[in-house]
Amino acid sequence: MNPNDTARPEPASSPDWGWQPGFAALGPAFFTHLQPTPVPSPYWVGVSAPAAQALGLASEWLASDEALQAFSGNQLLAGSQPLASVYSGHQFGLWAGQLGDGRAILLGETARKLEIQLKGAGRTPYSRGGDGRAVLRSSIREFLCSEAMHALGIPTTRALCVTGSPLPVQRETTESAAVVTRFAPSFIRFGHFEHFAARDQIPELRALADHVIDHHYTACRGATNPYAALLQAVSERTAELLARWQAVGFCHGVMNTDNMSILGLTIDYGPFQFLDTFDPGHICNHSDTQGRYAFNRQPQVAYWNLFCLAQALMPLIEDQETALAALAPYKTVYALSFLARMREKLGLVHRQDDTRHSESDGALIEELLGLLAASRVDYTVFWLRLTDAVDSGDFTPVRDLFLDREGWDGWLLAYSERLVQSEAGSAVAVMRTSNPRYVLRNHLGELAIRAASAGDFSVLQQLLQVLERPYDIHPEHAQWSGFAPEWASSIAISCSS
């Protein structure tokens, strides 16, 4: 097949997807219908069995050539009507104007109320001069992290599979092409609302908000001001999401408003990173020269993005005080959710009506994070060792992680006193399901990428299986739960990732 062949793909005789009108029912102001651009000689890179189960796909069909061709953009899933949506947004704090699905093509919404996208399936009217392709490196990262985050209980888009092709794609160097098939209840972003508000297209703005309310936030319809209720619901979901990011040490890297999900999902995995050493000011995106999206700034950036969403919704909300009131719960919900997540990591189990320890627990957590930062302690390893120490009673391996031993000893004394006050026998059980043994550190993703680039997909599949059960002990891969190797610090992740 010619790499430049743009012939219309033939429908694949796939399962009955039960396609719904979904986003397409909004009309042509919101998208452009188009076909994926075929790639030469596609091949399987990786498939997620749990994701396939969520979509109701039989393993036999998923292993077929029809599935391979469909998820590479070479054939259409029967009944699908592919489209690319238009949106705008703020990028690195500046208004970027019209953006849109530059390399993502929405196949449609299934009977299971899940939208399916092909990412990297060719140019769209919104590619802004780009090639509309994704490369193997970045596709593997998105595939693995989507499923890893889902297994950690963090709201996210999902990834069904990755297919590869020898088609050359130019980034910093020449790389090979790949396509990620991802899905979610909706891929609508803050930027969709910003787009129509900026153009003063109020009927379209209202239609979009009504679509989101009627399909995803039905409880808002009965509110006095449904659009303010929508803003508040999105704010609360976003606050919950950010609390989970911060607790697990996840850096998104490019929190532009066009990368913010209206459903409070983690979306658009690019220059992300899970922390190795705990550094609150860590910048994972080498393109972020000003550090706007540093780890410790993420909660505030999310609030700033929500303020942009509020501005976009103002023609519908109409009253500024009402809009500000809808944003107000964000900080409270974030603080309470973060406190709850960190209490779980510490095993501080208490009854729901026991609020006596809120202030002291907050101070205990703040002091601990300061100690972790001062000694640049490995974040994941610390929580694993602390869990084991609470179980065994031997805190020496944890103490060995700190340069400030005296500071650690003082904190441990306060923690031990607080731990005694928790429900007996519950602390370790909660910690075992709150402190993952395995997260997708950069070096682990790099191992899978290097092997896959050489035609070996076994490392990716093994890593996927481990990340799908991140709290379990995987003795054969114990090294993946340890410290990052020295060479990991040289991995550079940018917006092209």
Q: Which residues are catalytic?
A: 258
Q: Which token pair is 362?
A: 């907050």
- Cα–Cα nearest to 437, from 481, 474, 393, 405: 481
Nearest alpha-carbon partner for 411 in 358, 356, 374: 374
Integer CA distances (angstroms), 218 to 186, 192, 213, 230, in order? 15, 19, 5, 9
Half-sphere exposure in the Cβ direction for 248 (13 Å, CA): 30
Q: Give the whole-angstrom CA distance, residue 135 versus residue 73.
A: 14
CB-based contacts of 214, cutoff 8 Å, min separation 6: 221
Q: Which residues pair with 489 in a beta bridge?
A: none
Nearest to 214, CA basis, from 82, 54, 20, 28: 20
- Dist CA 395 CA 397 (whole Å): 6
**Residue 242 phi, psi dihedral angles, 5° rounding:** -65, -35
Parallel/antiparallel/unpaired status of strands 273-274 and 104-109: unpaired
